[in-house]
Amino acid sequence: MARPPADQSRTGLRLMHVHAHPDDESSKGAASTAKYVAEGVDVHVVTCTGGERGSVLNEKMDRPEVWENISEIRREEMHRARDILGIRQDWLGFVDSGWPEGDPKPPLPEGCFALVPLEESAERLVRLIREFRPHVMTTYDERGGYPHPDHIRCHEVSVAAFEAAGDPERYPDAGEPWQPMKLYYHHGWSWAKTDALHRAMLDHGLESPYAERLEKWDREPDWDDRITTKVPCGDYFGVRDQALLAHATQIDPDGMWFAIPREIQQTVWPTEDYELVSSTVESTLPEDDLFAGIPIPAP
């Protein structure tokens, strides 16, 4: 997928995304990632787990040899997506907690990411923050985006590490202190976005994949109002889609991820949306840039 022309005007800025599993970096914020990479921003994705207990969601990949090698395959998928997005990426090194099913739900597996003491998992992330020295960090909201145990833990670890990384008294053996200037939560599917895409599909005489979802939606206007920052990145939806497809065990090319034509997405909702939750710099809300208020460092 050809990228739009790059201008490299923001070389020197650094952005860190913290995600729970391989594929999350491509399904959440990948177009804004590609936009910033094209502008010269150094983008670092931290993947908390290997996705070892994830389901195979693409029926074409639901084969015995895939299940037998799922850890290696998901790692290879992440590396392909990394190269498509033009990012650097590190594994935090924890084991996927899986999605507990049943009523009541079973206990989480011993040793999984969600059960590791917060001080231990946060220290690993603090080390990476102090090494990479990001100006901006993003992660999930307190609900995890959706209530997977690893997504909720990813939120907790990210917030704890953001708060500790600049404190010389916290984790003194984890590198020189560095305080990122801004922390954002990623907001993927607000009601307004879903409804706008649904209506656009109907206006074009196409079947919407969101009709049933909208009927059952328990709206929370206050939650959607938390969005502060909309990053224009529609020109990079194609790069996002290629990164998604790299995760072949998780993404069905004939599935819902690609049910809305890209042209409709680019016209109706050409942004990826975030919530600014902490900042040491001045910026005016609403924003259209994760680096609003942050000057480009001198060479």
Annotated binding site for Zn(2+): 21, 24, 151
Please say whether the beta carbons of 251 and 57 come within 8 A. Answer: yes
Phi, psi at 143, each rounded to 5°: -90, -5
Please say whether the beta carbons of 249 and 208 come within 8 A. Answer: no
Q: Which residues are annotated as a binding site?
A: 21, 24, 151
Q: Which two tokens stand for residue 129?
A: 């923050």
Half-sphere exposure of 194 toward its Cβ, with a 13 Å CA cutoff? 18
Write down the H helix ranges in 52-190: 64-68, 70-85, 118-132, 149-164
Supply the DSSP symbol for 287.
B
Q: How far apart are the first and last CA of the chain?
A: 31
Distance CA 119, CA 135 (A): 23
